[in-house]
Amino acid sequence: MPPRALEPAGVALVDKPSGPSSFAVVAQIRRLTGARTGHAGTLDPFATGLLLLLSGRATKLTPRLVGLDKRYTTEIDLTCRTSTGDPEGEAGERRAAPGEDELRERLDGLRGEIELPIPAASAVKIGGERAYRLARRGIEVEMPLRRSTVHALDVIAYTGETVTLDVRVSSGTYIRSLALALGGHCASLRRTAVGPFSVDGAVAPEAFTAERLMSAAEVLERVEAARAAGS
């Protein structure tokens, strides 16, 4: 197979729909450009929102972008956990959701520096094999803890059964782990920002064109400006 082209080069802000994997979206953009294409962090198939995709020579920017903070809006069903922490897993026994006071206490315990188990349905390798493959075969393993920072965990709405949260976290944080820690699972998840880049400036995969690529210089300028501002 010939090497992928280094042009067009730049970074695309793509609004991933629910359903396809992030890698399917990467492949879709690669077919459109003919250039090598990478990403600065994936989303689960059920999730929607911002993907940063790097095209051509701009793939060298990956190390500068993968560590950026992420922001999400998530609706968490507090009446049951699932095996995966999302709608695709096997649901556990339903129970009454916590009241507002108890929910507030749980949220307080999840702000700042935290350690939570990585979800069993993740791509982390356990003994050389992807955890999600072990989970599919019904093999239970003790998942490692991951340290992360929850910068913001704000309630948008609370129905008595579900809570909708605005979440800003360090890179590598599993929102499904936060949902499980609250006693529920992610009913929906949308990534709204990666560092200084917002989903408001993104385009659906089918609407992408090479003209939508941001130059490497512009991307780095925005990242450095955000860091200088402390955001």
Closest CA to 171 of 26, 62, 23, 71: 71
8 Å CB contact between 47 and 134:
no
Helix (H, G, I), strand (E, B) or coil at 44: coil
User: What is the dihedral sign for C-alpha 156, 25, 199, 120?
Assistant: positive
Name residue, tokens 């507090």.
78
Residues 6+ apart with CB under 8 A from 144: 117, 118, 124
Active site annotation includes 154: no
- CA distances to 4, 46, 120, 179 from 82, in Å: 40, 14, 11, 10
Instruction: Give me the catalytic one of 15, 44, 69, 86.
Output: 44
Q: Any residues with CB less than 8 A from the CB of 224 and at least 6 apart, and which?
A: none
Catalytic residues: 44
